[in-house]
Amino acid sequence: DTGVSQNPRHKITKRGQNVTFRCDPISEHNRLYWYRQTLGQGPEFLTYFQNEAQLEKSRLLSDRFSAERPKGSFSTLEIQRTEQGDSAMYLCASSSGTAKNGYTFGSGTRLTVV
Amino acid sequence: AQSVTQLDSHVSVSEGTPVLLRCNYSSSYSPSLFWYVQHPNKGLQLLLKYTSAATLVKGINGFEAEFKKSETSFHLTKPSAHMSDAAEYFCVVRTSGGGADGLTFGKGTHLIIQP
């Protein structure tokens, strides 16, 4: 097991286009989290899944954002009609229980909207 | 609501001298607290965690943190800085209750190591 894997590492897209990111968590982890990190800031919570169920969504997750985890394994995060303000690092993390023990983070996908 | 405040945006120390990165938390109950480190172009790595056991927590790479309830602090220390410690450090509190299960990050402290 190589940890949490995110693809692609970098994505440059034109404003208005749709983008999709993928996260493969550590195989035995049942919880999966998405965070967003803008330059000079700490990561901000977006949403999380327990198995295939999406249990919480932040108010940061506008209706242009959607996340899925269809089989309780990998997850995708889609952004529709991208805006320049969506430019950020999108981080995925997984854990075997609650956040009480911390997470394992992936290296992130850096999105640049031009 | 839980929150953390990192008191310094930048800290600069000389190699071989002690490191102190300061963090204060706000929580209505006994919190779970963490320190994460982020090296340039790399993912976040968990340094250590406090989950209501011992108040002095030892982490990786020689880092420690002490939970002080009376001061609502969770400062990170290391006796002797190494060049490889240069990175961004985040103090983090678990956000829970009402179905929530996330982590709230501070704004980060950039640690600079002078040769």
Cross-strand pairs, B49: B34
pLDDT digits (tens, 9 = 90+) for A31-87: 999 999 998 889 999 999 999 999 888 888 889 999 999 988 999 999 999 999 999
Q: Smallest Cβ distance to B94: which of A41, A100, A106?
A: A100
HEC sequence for chain A: CCCCEEECCEEEECCCCCEEEEEECCCCCCEEEEEEECCCCCCEEEEEEECCEEEEECCCCCCCEEEECCCCCCEEEEECCCCHHHCEEEEEEEECCCHHHCCEECCCEEEEEC
Average pLDDT, integer, range A14-18: 97
CB–CB of B32 and A99 under 8 A?
yes
**pLDDT tens, position by position, B19-75:** 999 999 998 777 889 999 999 878 899 999 998 778 999 999 999 999 999 999 999
Please tell me which residue of chain B has the smallest CA distance to A57.
B100
Q: Which residue in B has a C-alpha nearest to residue A103's C-alpha?
A: B46
Which chain A residue is nearest to residue B51, measuring alpha carbons? A100
pLDDT of res. A56? 87
Check residue B98 and give its pLDDT: 54
How many angstroms away from the CA of B47 is the closest CA of chain A? 10
- Encoding tokens for residue A99? 């956040």
Burial level of A22, CB count in 10 A (0-12/13-18/19+)? middle
**How close, in Å, is residue B40 to chain A by CA atoms?**
10
